[in-house]
């Protein structure tokens, strides 16, 4: 594995993790995208490195053959991530239409417990949205 | 016989395509879905019989020999889990057909359901780490769409956290695949088992731990279970029932497969036993605090996963046999309990325990179906849960692991307590306003699950023998590797 590649992967994962922990849905989705990019890049790096194309019928050439497997795997993984990201975006849009805000909603259970103990004042979702903004 | 292996994945996918082609002709869609899932059940049973006489059915898709090509394997373990899973898929499909039109199950339900079937089948029979990823994703994508059949605020919120958690798990899965490929140069599970033997123990254990985290998120083990009780209860009953019965159990299946095949066997694993105990305890404590029938049952899924991990934690033939028996019993009982929960919701219009009651007088048949399932979940003799738990406890005592045995007994008691809470809330008390009576088909489907769970108890002897044979294959990875790498 190359050092440059690994650095890029770790930066992608660090930024992705930071964004996934945010309150705004759009940031969470971008964070997930970056994380998947990091994972895909890591698979690309897991092969033995650049070499002659793996084509049958070039027996005379002596140069080593590249490993096609990581590329095949990454293609599959990219398509899957693409599909799920599209679904997530549709879900985020639906959530925006329903609640009028881009923030991840409070857990119902958390809110119930907070209400029962009277320890925490339950804030309406709109105000949470303003605080985050 | 080996042609059946690709067929259990291909036939449901083809069926899903056909349901789209026939458009909004409900009768045709139902016929296609029924024959697709029915085919998988038949094939699974044939594969199990064949695997039990020959140790495993192996298919090399595309004709390339083992480490290079795509390998599909059905050994006894996969055969058992696939058979039980497809039986449940068929029953829940019948239940959903009876409910269709009453709940907001939309037109493309059958398409998604067939895709889910294909994903579950591929995850169970694959012999390759990357195809396992693909199988998981097929299963998950179908589950995302099924969870959002209704697109109200509750569903969207619950599905969002479910999708995000699973996407993070998928990214981690890809990282595991990349690291494994760099270290060993192969992803074929049998080939990996050979390669892992010569690995540095530190590298091997860290890869094993990463796998445990990834599959632990899917299986909802402690401390990675928080997403489950939050997302499952919001979906329509058939969806929740099939998720509860199958999805986490596929995770447990893969944990058992990877831990036995790739990591060495040196006595009981304290880490796994600790996870098992914590999963049981936190799951059941969560269940006791709930007030909604589906939420209580969802927390019990988590608690029950602990028992399966406990069987794996012993890392012995008898422990694994008990875990296999437990999985078989649990898939049936858990699906049945959720179907009963759905009947109650259909009758009363809600699942909140403080708003319903007196169902015993109005619909005694529901109470009759609930009782054996609930007692079985708590492990009361003579029901199926007792047999599975007894096997676990015997092995725990034989290996001198008193703490986990004590924890599991205490958790059983708490399970019984929360089942009586459901009983008292739903069936006793003041009769409430009757809602819409549930369809007869729903009751019939639930009844057949109850019959199956009683069948597991009646045929516990032969089943335990089968589980013991399956566990013997798992304990010795050489059986698996020689079958996959030896023949084609």
A91: nearest CB among B159, B174, B178: B159
Average pLDDT over residues A98-109: 73
Average pLDDT over residues A82-98: 89
Mean per-residue pLDDT, B123-148: 92
Residues from chain A contacting residue B167 (CB–CB below 8 Å): 32, 35-36, 81, 84, 88
Task: Kindly indicate the confidence band of residue B109, based on its pLDDT and cuts at 50, 70 and 90.
Answer: confident
Report the percent of chain B where pLDDT is more than 90.
Answer: 51
Instruction: Report the C-alpha gap between B186 and B364 in whole angstroms.
Output: 57
At B347 the pLDDT is 82
Residue B330's Cβ-side half-sphere holds a number of Cα atoms within 13 Å equal to 31
Residue B137's pLDDT is 94
Q: What is the pLDDT at residue A129?
A: 46
Check if A109 contacts B (Cβ < 8 Å): yes
State the pLDDT confidence band at B49, using cuts at 50, 70 and 90.
very high
Q: What's residue B82's pLDDT?
A: 95
Q: According to the model, what pLDDT value does residue A126 have?
A: 47
A70 to B181: CB separation less than 8 angstroms, yes or no: yes
Residue B230: band (very low, low, confident or very high) from pLDDT cuts 50, 70, 90 = confident
**How many Å lie between the alpha carbon of A51 and the closest alpha carbon of chain B?**
16
Q: Provide the shortest C-alpha distance from residue A25 to chain B (in Å).
A: 9
Q: How does pLDDT run across B177-219, given as a tens digit for each residue?
A: 999 998 988 888 988 988 888 888 889 989 999 999 999 999 9
B403 vs A126, more confident: B403
| Predicted pLDDT at B312 | 93
pLDDT of residue A114: 66
Judge: A69–B157 Cβ closer than 8 Å, yes or no. Answer: no
Q: Is the per-residue pLDDT at B79 higher than 90?
A: yes
The arithmetic mean of pLDDT across residues B248-267, rounded, is 87
SS3 B2: coil
> Is the pLDDT score of A130 beyond 50?
no
Asked if the C-beta of A80 comes within 8 angstroms of chain B's C-beta atoms, the answer is yes
Query: Hey, is the C-beta of A116 within 8 angstroms of any chain B C-beta?
Result: no
- The residue of chain A nearest to residue B140, with distances taken between CA atoms, is A84
Cα distance from A127 to chain B (closest Cα, Å)? 18
Mean pLDDT of B69-85: 91
CB contacts of A36 in chain B (<8 Å) are 167, 170-171, 174
Mean pLDDT of chain B: 88
Which pLDDT does position A128 carry in this prediction?
45
Only one residue has tokens 């831990």, namely B259
Whether the Cβ atoms of residue B184 and residue A119 lie closer than 8 Å to each other: no
A104 touches chain B (CB under 8 A): yes
Region B368-382: mean pLDDT is 90
| Residue given tokens 């447990």 in the structure block | B252
Percent of the residues in chain B that have a pLDDT greater than 70, as a whole number:
97
Put simply, the answer to whether A91 touches B145 (Cβ < 8 Å) is no
Q: Are B248 and B301 in contact (CB under 8 A)?
A: yes
pLDDT at A122 over 60: no
Structure tokens at A54: 């793996």
> What does the pLDDT read at residue A110?
66
End-to-end CA distance of chain A: 41
Asked if A107 is an interface residue toward chain B (Cβ–Cβ < 8 A), one would say yes
Would you call A46 an interface residue with chain B, using a CB distance cutoff of 8 Å?
yes
Average pLDDT, chain A: 80
Confidence (pLDDT) at B475? 87
pLDDT at A113: 66
Say if the Cβ atoms of B164 and A88 lie within 8 Å: yes
Give Cβ neighbours of residue B355 (< 8 Å, ≥ 6 apart).
Answer: B348, B432
Better-scored residue on pLDDT, B1 or B469: B469
Between B398 and B477, the higher pLDDT residue: B398
| Residue B281 predicted with pLDDT over 90 | yes
Which residues of chain A does B144 touch, with a Cβ-Cβ cutoff of 8 Å?
84, 87
Assign residue B222 a region (left: φ > 0; alpha: ψ between -120 and 50; beta: otherwise): beta
- Helix-then-strand count for chain B, H and E: 21, 2
In whole angstroms, give the CA distance from residue B92 to residue B420: 25
pLDDT over threshold 50, residue B104: no
User: For residues B394 and B462, is the Cβ–Cβ distance under 8 A?
Assistant: no
A1 touches chain B (CB under 8 A): yes
- Between chains, do A35 and B171 touch, taking CB under 8 Å as contact? yes
Q: CA geometry: angle at B82 spanning B78 and B83, to 5°? A: 120
Q: What is the ipTM of this complex?
A: 0.85
In Å, how far is B57's CA from the nearest CA of chain A?
A: 26
pLDDT in tens, B317-352: 999 999 999 999 999 999 999 999 988 888 877 778
How sure is the predictor about B47, in pLDDT bands with cuts at 50, 70 and 90? very high
A20, A32, A39: residue with CB nearest B174: A39
Residue in chain A closest to B179 (alpha carbons) equals: A46
Q: What tens digit of pLDDT does each residue of A14-50 get?
A: 999 999 998 888 899 999 999 999 999 999 888 777 7
> Once rounded to an integer, what is the mean pLDDT over residues B162-176?
93
In this predicted structure, the answer to whether residue B90 has a pLDDT above a threshold of 70 is yes
Residues of chain B contacting residue A66, judged by C-beta atoms under 8 Å apart: none
Cα of A69 to nearest chain B Cα, Å = 10
Query: What chain B residue is nearest to A113 in terms of C-alpha separation?
Result: B289
Task: Give the model's pLDDT for residue A118.
Answer: 52
Residues of A in contact with B145 (CB under 8 A): 87
Tell whether A87 is within 8 A of chain B (Cβ).
Answer: yes
Show the tokens assigned to B232. 């499952």
Q: Are B174 and A98 within 8 A, CB to CB?
A: no
Express each pLDDT in B385-398 by its tens digit.
898 999 999 999 99
A20 close to B (CB below 8 A): yes
What DSSP character marks residue B232? G
Assess whether pLDDT exceeds 60 at residue A74.
yes
d(CA B241, CA B487): 39
Q: What pLDDT score does A127 carry?
A: 46
Q: Does A77 touch chain B (CB under 8 A)?
A: yes
Task: Using the predicted structure, report yes or no on whether residue B277 has a pLDDT greater than 80.
Answer: yes
Q: Give the pLDDT score at A102.
A: 77
pTM for this structure?
0.91
Residue B78: strand, helix, or coil: helix
What span, in angstroms and rounded, lies between the C-alpha atoms of B31 and A110?
44
């Amino acid at each position: 594995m190359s050092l440059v590649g690994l650095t890029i992967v770790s930066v992608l994962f660090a930024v992705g993790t930071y964004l996934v922990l945010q309150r705004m849905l759009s940031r969470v989705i971008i964070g997930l995208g970056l994380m998947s990019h990091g994972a895909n890049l890591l698979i690309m790096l897991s092969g033995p490195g650049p070499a002659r194309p793996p084509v049958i019928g070039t027996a005379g050439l002596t140069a080593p053959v590249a490993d096609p497997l990581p590329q095949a795997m990454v293609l599959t993984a990219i398509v899957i991530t693409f599909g799920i990201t599209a679904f997530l975006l549709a879900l985020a849009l639906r959530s925006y239409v329903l609640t009028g805000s881009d923030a991840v909603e409070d857990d119902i259970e958390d809110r119930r417990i907070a209400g029962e103990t009277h320890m925490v004042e339950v804030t309406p979702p709109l105000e949470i949205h303003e605080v985050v903004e | 016989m080996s042609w059946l292996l690709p067929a259990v994945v291909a036939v449901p996918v083809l069926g899903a395509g056909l349901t789209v082609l026939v458009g909004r002709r409900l009768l045709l869609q139902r016929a296609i879905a029924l024959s697709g899932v029915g085919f998988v059940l038949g094939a699974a049973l044939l594969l199990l019989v064949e695997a039990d006489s020959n140790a495993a059915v192996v298919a090399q898709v595309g004709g390339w020999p083992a480490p290079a090509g795509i390998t599909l394997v059905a050994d006894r373990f996969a055969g058992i889990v696939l058979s039980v899973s497809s039986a449940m898929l068929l029953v829940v499909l019948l239940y959903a057909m009876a409910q269709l039109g009453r709940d907001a199950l939309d037109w493309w339900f059958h398409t998604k359901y067939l895709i889910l079937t294909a994903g579950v089948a591929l995850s169970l029979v694959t012999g390759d780490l990357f195809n396992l990823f693909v199988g998981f994703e097929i299963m998950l994508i179908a589950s995302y769409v099924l969870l959002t059949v209704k697109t109200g605020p509750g569903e969207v919120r619950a599905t969002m956290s479910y999708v995000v958690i699973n996407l993070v798990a998928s990214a981690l899965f890809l990282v595991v695949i990349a690291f494994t490929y760099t270290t060993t140069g192969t992803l074929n599970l049998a080939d990996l088992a050979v390669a892992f033997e010569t690995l540095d123990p530190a590298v091997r254990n860290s890869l094993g731990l990463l796998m445990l985290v990834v599959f632990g998120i899917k299986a909802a083990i402690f401390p990675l279970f928080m997403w489950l009780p939050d997302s499952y209860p919001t979906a329509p009953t058939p969806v929740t029932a099939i998720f509860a019965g199958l999805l986490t159990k596929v995770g447990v299946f893969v944990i058992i497969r990877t831990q036995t095949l790739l990591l060495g066997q040196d006595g009981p694993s304290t880490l796994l036993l600790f996870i098992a105990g914590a999963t049981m305890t936190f799951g059941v404590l969560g269940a006791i605090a709930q007030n909604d029938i589906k939420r209580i049952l969802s927390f019990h899924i988590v608690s029950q996963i602990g028992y399966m991990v406990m069987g794996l934690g012993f890392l012995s033939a008898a422990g694994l046999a008990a875990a296999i028996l437990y999985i078989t019993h649990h898939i049936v009982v858990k699906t049945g309990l959720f179907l009963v929960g759905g009947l109650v919701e259909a009758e009363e219009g809600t699942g909140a325990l403080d708003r319903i009651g007196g169902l015993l007088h109005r619909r005694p048949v529901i109470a009759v179906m609930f009782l054996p399932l609930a007692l079985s979940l708590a492990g009361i003799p003579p029901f199926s849960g007792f047999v599975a738990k007894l096997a676990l406890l015997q092995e725990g005592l034989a290996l001198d692991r008193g703490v986990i045995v004590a924890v599991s007994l205490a958790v059983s008691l708490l399970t019984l307590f929360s089942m009586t809470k459901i009983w008292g809330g739903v069936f006793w008390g003041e009769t409430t306003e009757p809602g819409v009576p549930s369809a007869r088909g729903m009751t019939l489907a639930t009844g057949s699950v109850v019959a199956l769970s009683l069948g597991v108890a009646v045929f516990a002897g032969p089943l335990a023998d089968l589980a013991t044979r399956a566990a013997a294959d798992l304990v010795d990875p050489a059986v698996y590797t020689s079958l996959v790498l030896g023949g084609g």
